[in-house]
Amino acid sequence: MGLLRTIVILMIIYYIFKFFSRYIAPIFLRKMMKDVERRFNEQQNAYKNEPQNVGETIIDKKPSDNTQSRKDLGEYIDYEEVDE
């Protein structure tokens, strides 16, 4: 009797899952896709409404001319691979 009961429970679960995936899941997916599309459109509209400075160049800071090479860094050593 236990095996028959388990088979019936599994069949009921299978049909509930099949019903859910066929009829209810598409409704949730459509709603989720509409929300994503709405957020995307809001972001695009916010980006389009921002003022654009086309062709304008702004320099904040001039680089300093005090570039000195540091000679106290040490020696350069060239290493060679030794084959054994």
What are the structural domain ranges in the chain?
1-48
Which of 9, 53, 47 is CA-nearest to residue 1?
A: 9
d(CA 8, CA 5): 5
Q: How confident is the model at residue 14 (pLDDT cuts 50, 70, 90)?
A: very high
pLDDT at 56: 74
Q: How confident is the model at residue 69 (pLDDT cuts 50, 70, 90)?
A: low
Which residue in this structure is represented by tokens 């050593």?
Answer: 77
Q: Where are the alpha helices (DSSP H) in 1-84?
A: 2-19, 25-49
pLDDT digits (tens, 9 = 90+) for 21-62: 888 888 999 999 999 999 999 888 877 776 666 667 777 777
